[in-house]
Structure 1
Amino acid sequence: MAATLALPFHSPEVADLLTDKWRQRERLRAAGVDATRSYVIQSESDLRPALDHVGLPAVVKPARGKGSRDTFRLDYPQQAVETITWLLASDEEAGRQPRYVLEEMLLGADDARFGDYVSVESVLTPDGPVHLAVTGKFPLSPPFRECGQFWPAAVPAAQDQAIRELTAQAIDALGIRHGLTHTEIKLTPTGPRLIEVNGRLGGWIAELADRALGLDLFALAADLACGPVRMTTPSWPGIVFQFWNLPPQDARALGRVNGAPTVRKMPGIDRYLNLVLPGPLGPAEVTQRLDLTCGTASSYEALTAMIGAAMASLEYAFTDAEGLTTTTAAVGMPSWQALHAHSTHTPPARQQEP
């Protein structure tokens, strides 16, 4: 539409690169920005060549998708064949043309203070990209479910600079010249590696910008659509964070939520939002945020303590596929379990294939 109306936006070619994960990897590889092994899978005949080229561990994901939909880690040959075959069959049964990307699993550094990945929020200006922030992430809950984020990321200055430089290189390689971008980057033992570049505002990043900077990113996006915008890299005091709860894998419906008034009155908590009404939950194959706990902390240690106190005050009633209703405390749910496990993590011995 923008091209037809001669309006400033991503060109059709850039838009395709930003929404097709296979084409994006190819372009970044050709530009020398990314060397992640990947292969496109559209039928069972692609399965063996893909596994031979990429190897294991690997990640399979839709070529076009969001919210971690149908994204799985593959560690063993039999698991990989069964998972991909099931994905292909599911698409065919639904009348969709299957198209998945199998790519090398980027293994994070063991010394990452929180999650082993970050995102970079950038604004495209006439002078090039301005990176608003490197966004820290909490550890993922299996399989690849995000649990929250915070500004600024808990990374050393040199690593922060390397992350920003890689982001700028990726933006340039993809030919992005307009709008906002949300770039996800894995923190590996050998340095930052690209996960993907999105040509849009990241999920709930506008809420962080509003509390941290008093900056309205929706208005900024509108200003960018009307003409060039010039700005500088901002700075802010304190650490602003968001933490959200994910339902248990077997939950099919949400009943009541207890403890919200208590959380809203806690020192440092800026807001608590319920995001899901009581009733049936969405499909289990995508990330579904039940709520949003937002706060401001003076240190990363205080941040973790505040989240722990909030989670100890929340509990949820869920109904499973058998119609059984149980009450579950937030400290026993996937998000807090992922963060708590990371804080007491000892690297495991290498697993053997069962």
Structure 2
Amino acid sequence: MNRTFVCVETTGHFTRALEPVAAAEGDRLLFVSARAEPPAGVRSLRIDVREDPRRAAEAVAAACADEPAVAAFTNQEPYVIATAALAEALGVGRNPLASASAARDKARMKEVWQAAGVSTPRGTHATSRAGLDLAGVVYPAIVKPTHGFASCGVRRVESEEELLEQVRKIALLNATTMAQGGVPGGGGFLVEQCLEGREFSVDSVWCDGRPAVDLLMTNRSDLVSSGPYFPDRLYVLDPSLPPEVRRAVVDLTHDAVRALGISHGPTHTEVRFHDGTPYVLEAAARPGAGGVFYDLARHALGVDPMRAMYLSLVCEGREEFDRRAEPALREAQVPRDTSYFWFNVPHRGSGIIRAVEGLDEVRDRAEVLLCVCFKEPGQRLHPDGDLISDYFCNITGRHREVPGGPSLPELLKSFEETIEIVY
């Protein structure tokens, strides 16, 4: 169709995966970034969209004059608002800019949900220690930055001392990572009710206000990490999940996304139970895990969320979307004795990477469907802790419990021990 799909700061793996989807529609990608290099063969434009989305739109329009832009998209949380503003300036916006902004700000998100009657944990917002009512905090509590992502800065606190310690850490995070991401003042923080039940995520694809894909994953990070922090370590596609639990989780995510006003494209929503009731924690106007969950869905279920997402942003309406997306939405059943998983590999040490060893050995394992390393030699890797906001390496795979075979945690530990970073 000779159109351009604009990718703003998308990760290398996601950009490469999206390229054949666009090509199948007769379209091309334009990779827009302030610093990163595009995958080989992908057109690119070097500009920081966050500085001035309207000026960036003029540059994009000039770069693809013969193949006009049809959509602008990012899979990176810090660029969600700027990308929505770019799409609006290009005349291809599908969601209101206010909706993208609300999905980026956890305090505003909570206000919207409370006003709409969407079940969400109790919480208070403050921009500094001075604005925090310490007397009103019930412990244990959850503390998180309002503009965080990848669970950076999120901690369960048991006392006022721990709360103030984490508030100081979040202030540092807001003054650096969040401020560099274009958040005025870096944002503030939330102190929330601590929920004790199981946690889930739902990756949906929306078109004209209706979901076309709902990929429900169970968060089992507790199997591979412990402590007061909440790193996104392990998500599992669980075929044994009771239908009533699945329905309760998915229905709540739909209510939450609709309340934010998001009607097109991808969303990633997190839900946790407490005393048998589901509560929505947060939602994002982007794919979960940078889009790697889409690979898991393709391998496990046969569906193609990547193609569905693309079509949701370029089709004229729901009728066209349903007609063209139907083959991508045919879902297969997951064998009940098989767990498909996404594992965010932890790392030891920090510094400038000289080499990453063991990746080929991991990729050759029969259980591994995909291994994506996001760091290359010459890049800096920060300590793996509660303030880290980027991924080192993701593994998607499948596991079957067999007599004498490794348990899922044992399998994942073997991956972790095989991959070695040389600084």
The two structures share one fold, judged by TM-score above 0.5: yes
Greater relative contact order (Cα < 8 A, sep 6+): 1
Contact kept, 8 Å, 1:147 with 1:244, in 2: the verdict is yes
The residue aligned with 1:147 is 233
Alpha-carbon distance change, 298 to 99 in structure 1, aligned in 2, over 3 angstroms: same
Is residue 2:187 matched to residue 1:99? yes
The residue aligned with 2:274 is 188
- Secondary structure of the residue that 1:177 maps to in structure 2? coil
- TM, length-normalised to structure 2: 0.64
Paired with 1:218 and 1:302, the residues of 2 have a C-alpha distance of 37
Alpha-carbon distance change, 17 to 303 in structure 1, aligned in 2, over 3 angstroms: farther
Alpha-carbon distance change, 6 to 54 in structure 1, aligned in 2, over 3 angstroms: farther
- Alignment partner of 1:236 out of 325, 333, 352: 333
Is residue 2:366 matched to residue 1:294? no
In proportion to residue count, which structure has more helix? Answer: 2
- TM, length-normalised to structure 1: 0.75
The residue aligned with 2:146 is 63
Contact kept, 8 Å, 1:62 with 1:71, in 2: the verdict is yes
Paired with 2:345 and 2:256, the residues of 1 have a C-alpha distance of 32
* Larger deviation, residues 213-222 vs 170-179: 213-222
Contact kept, 8 Å, 2:303 with 2:331, in 1: the verdict is no
Q: Cα RMSD (Å) of the superposition?
A: 3.2
Runs of 4+ that moved beyond 6 A: 93-96, 300-304
Paired with 1:165 and 1:301, the residues of 2 have a C-alpha distance of 38
- Secondary structure of the residue that 2:185 maps to in structure 1? coil
* Larger deviation, residues 189-198 vs 66-75: 66-75
The residue aligned with 1:349 is none
Alpha-carbon distance change, 103 to 303 in structure 1, aligned in 2, over 3 angstroms: farther
- Alignment partner of 2:103 out of 2, 10, 18: 18
Query: How many residue pairs get matched?
Result: 311
* Larger deviation, residues 270-279 vs 129-138: 270-279
Q: CA deviation at 1:151?
A: 2.1
Alpha-carbon distance change, 7 to 287 in structure 1, aligned in 2, over 3 angstroms: closer
The residue aligned with 1:247 is 347
What whole-Å deviation, never above 9, does each CA across 1:20-50 have from its counterpart, x for those lacking one? 1100000101111124222221123212x2x
The residue aligned with 2:305 is 217
Letter in 2 for 1:134: L
Paired with 1:312 and 1:283, the residues of 2 have a C-alpha distance of 21
Contact kept, 8 Å, 1:41 with 1:101, in 2: the verdict is yes
TM alignment of 1:38-57, pairs within 5 A: 38-47=123-132, 49=133, 51-57=134-140
Q: CA deviation at 1:205?
A: 1.3
The residue aligned with 1:331 is none
Q: CA deviation at 1:92?
A: 5.7
Paired with 2:168 and 2:368, the residues of 1 have a C-alpha distance of 45
Q: CA deviation at 1:149?
A: 1.8
Structure 2 unaligned blocks of 5 or more: 1-85
What whole-Å deviation, never above 9, does each CA across 1:292-314 have from its counterpart, x for those lacking one? 33323456999963562463363
Q: CA deviation at 1:261?
A: 4.5
Paired with 2:215 and 2:405, the residues of 1 have a C-alpha distance of 18
Q: Matched residues, percent identical?
A: 23
Is residue 2:272 matched to residue 1:197? no
Contact kept, 8 Å, 2:144 with 2:155, in 1: the verdict is yes
Structure 1 unaligned blocks of 5 or more: 110-115, 320-324, 326-354
Alpha-carbon distance change, 90 to 157 in structure 1, aligned in 2, over 3 angstroms: closer
Alpha-carbon distance change, 205 to 30 in structure 1, aligned in 2, over 3 angstroms: same
Letter in 2 for 1:45: A
